[in-house]
């Protein structure tokens, strides 16, 4: 027992070090128009990391390029789970939380699932051009819809690394339900996800506090919940959700030059990655 526990501890520490290395590589100005060299450098880093795990499709569209790694599952004919995070950043910002945190977690999920296949196939997607109107996710969601490609779930990892003493909400009344401290991870999902949410929340909740927000009508009554790569999948009728630290509703560094690595809560990001690995592996 002691040897097994020691191995688990060593592996967990190795994951933490890898996540921090990913963050150091990705958290740089990398806007497609205003920080083009950083944007291209980030793409090449992701290509290298993902290609070590399997063949990577470079899904090109007019303004950019999504990167797709398809990992097998134990049930190869089951509808896949698509897990994505955008790798471009806001102009003039290192984008440590937005969205180096999501991409670092995505890379570690890919690494883990390449070694221990989950129940279903998983498509790992690094989305481009989120900051320019969700162009990468719009291109991919539209293409999958035209091909009638089924998905069990699409999950967007959108800012996973910031906690704070205060929490705001798109509706003030939500404070009474969810609390006033920014110490949780939120899962914002369309109503089609409702059958999946209880089990997912239980598994995530073993690692860190979680709050669920199911939204009707593709989130249109609350525009703030549509501001990531899940919303084009909502619009095409897919089950889709965003996992987030709630972005500008919590993080005062959102889209500012102060969104740097030293502002992140790394234990929170590590716990979120562990939680997602276990929650999604059994879908």
Q: What is the pLDDT of residues 181-217, one digit of tens each?
A: 999 999 999 999 999 999 999 999 999 999 999 999 9
β-bridge pairing 153-158 and 81-86: parallel
Question: Which residue's entry shows tokens 């795990």?
Answer: 53
Give the pLDDT band of residue 7 (cuts 50, 70, 90): low
pLDDT tens digits, residue range 215-258? 999 999 999 999 999 999 999 999 999 999 999 999 999 999 99
Q: Of all residues in the chain, what percent carry a pLDDT higher than 70?
A: 97
**Around 239, how many Cα atoms within 13 Å sit in the side-chain half-sphere?**
17
Q: Which of 55, 44, 54, 46 is nearest to 115 (CA)?
A: 54
CA-CA-CA-CA torsion for 44, 49, 50, 53, nearest 10 degrees? 150
DSSP-derived 3-state class of residue 127: strand
Phi-psi region of 133 (alpha: psi -120 to 50; beta: other; left: phi over 0): left
The confidence score (pLDDT) of residue 11 equals 84
CATH number for the domain whose boundaries are 2-281: 3.40.630.10
Length of the chain: 283
pTM of the predicted model, to two decimals? 0.96
Question: Which residue's entry shows tokens 């699409």?
Answer: 154
Domains of the chain: which residue ranges? 2-281
Contacts of 156 (CB under 8 A, 6+ apart): 84, 85, 102, 137, 228, 229, 230, 240, 241, 242, 243
pLDDT tens digits, residue range 126-171? 999 999 999 999 999 999 999 999 999 999 999 999 999 999 999 9
What distance in Å separates the CA atoms of residue 152 and residue 81, rounded to the nearest whole number?
A: 5
Quote the strand ranges of the chain, DSSP E: 56-61, 64-71, 81-86, 122-127, 153-158, 185-190, 210-215, 240-244
Q: What average pLDDT does range 117-131 have in this prediction?
A: 98
């Amino acid at each position: 027992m002691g040897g097994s526990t020691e191995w688990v501890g060593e592996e967990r520490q190795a994951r933490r070090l890898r996540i921090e290395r990913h963050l150091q590589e990705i958290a740089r100005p990398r806007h497609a128009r205003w920080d083009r060299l950083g944007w291209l450098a980030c793409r090449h880093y992701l290509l290298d990391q993902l290609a070590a795990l399997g063949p990577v499709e470079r899904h090109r569209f007019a303004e950019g390029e999504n990167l797709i790694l398809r990992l097998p599952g134990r049930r190869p004919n089951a509808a896949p789970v698509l897990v994505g995070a955008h790798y471009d950043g806001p102009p003039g910002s290192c984008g440590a939380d937005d969205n180096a945190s999501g991409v670092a977690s995505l890379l570690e999920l890919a690494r883990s699932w390449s070694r221990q296949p989950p129940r279903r196939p998983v498509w790992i997607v690094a989305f481009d051009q989120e900051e320019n109107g969700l162009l990468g996710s719009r291109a991919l969601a539209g293409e999958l819809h035209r091909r009638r490609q089924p998905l069990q779930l699409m999950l967007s990892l959108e800012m996973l690394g910031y906690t704070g003493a205060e929490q705001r909400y798109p509706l003030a009344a939500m404070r009474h339900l969810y609390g006033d401290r920014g110490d949780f991870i939120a899962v914002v999902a369309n109503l089609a996800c409702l059958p999946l949410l209880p089990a997912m929340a239980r598994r995530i909740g073993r690692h860190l506090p979680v709050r669920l927000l199911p939204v009707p009508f593709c989130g249109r009554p609350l525009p703030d919940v549509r501001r990531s790569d899940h919303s084009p999948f909502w619009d095409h009728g897919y089950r889709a959700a965003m996992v987030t630290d709630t972005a500008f509703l919590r993080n005062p560094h959102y889209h500012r030059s102060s969104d740097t690595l030293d502002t992140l809560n790394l234990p929170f990001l590590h716990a979120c990655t562990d939680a997602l690995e276990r929650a999604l592996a059994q879908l």
